[in-house]
Amino acid sequence: QQMSGEDEIEFSDKDEPDGDGDGSSDCPTIRVPLTSLKSHQGVVIAADWLVGGKQAVTASWDRTANLYDVETSELVHSLTGHDQELTHCCTHPTQRLVVTSSRDTTFRLWDFRDPSIHSVNVFQGHTE
C-alpha cells in the first residue's frame, strides 16, 4: 500500500525473510546477551566492531565514545573531546581507525594503528 507525502514508505525484497518462510536458518540465533558493556552516563546512540571482532566502539549522548574489549567486557579507552552529544561512530573495515561525529558540528578521526600512540584529528566545517 502506498501513502502520499512524507508518509510514503517503500518496501523491498530486503524486508522479507529469506528462505521458505518457516523462520529456520542455518545461522544460529543468540537469544541472550553474551555480555553487557557498561560505563556510559547517557544514551548509547551507535556502536561498531573494530577489525578483528575483539573490540567494539560505542558513541553516546554523554559526549564520549568508548572502546571496549568484548571478550573481557572491560573499557579499554574513553574517547573524549567532543563538546556536545555524539551522533554516530564508525570503524574502518581493515584498519584500526574510528570516526565519531557530534552535534558540536565536528567529526574526529581516532587512530589506534600504533598500540603505543593513539592520535586524533578534529575536522570542522559543518554548520549543523
Supply 66's cell numbers: 568508548
Each residue's pLDDT tens digit, 31-40: 887 778 888 8
Give 70's contacts (C-beta < 8 A, 6+ positions apart).
Answer: 34, 35, 37, 53, 54, 55, 56
SS3 78: strand
Supply 103's cell numbers: 552535534
**Taking residues 91-115, what's their average pLDDT?**
94
Domains and CATH numbers, the chain: 44-124 (2.40.10)
pLDDT band at 24 (very low <50, low <70, confident <90, very high): low
Instruction: Quote the pLDDT of residue 6.
Output: 47
76 φ/ψ angles, rounded to the nearest 5 degrees: -90, -45
For the stretch 56-64, contacts whose Cβ atoms lie closer than 8 Å and that sit 24 or more positions apart, written own/partner, are 57/89, 57/91, 57/98, 58/89, 59/86, 59/87, 59/88, 59/89, 59/100, 60/85, 60/86, 61/85, 61/86, 63/102, 64/40
Q: pTM, whole model, 2 decimals?
A: 0.72
CA angle 40, 104, 56 (to 5 degrees): 35
Each residue's pLDDT tens digit, 51-95: 999 999 999 999 999 999 999 999 999 999 999 999 999 999 999
Instruction: Quote the pLDDT of residue 23.
Output: 55
- Arithmetic mean of pLDDT over the chain: 83
The Cα–Cα gap between 61 and 56 comes to: 17
For the cut 80, the answer to whether the pLDDT of residue 29 exceeds it is: yes
For the cut 60, the answer to whether the pLDDT of residue 21 exceeds it is: no
The Cα–Cα gap between 41 and 61 comes to: 8
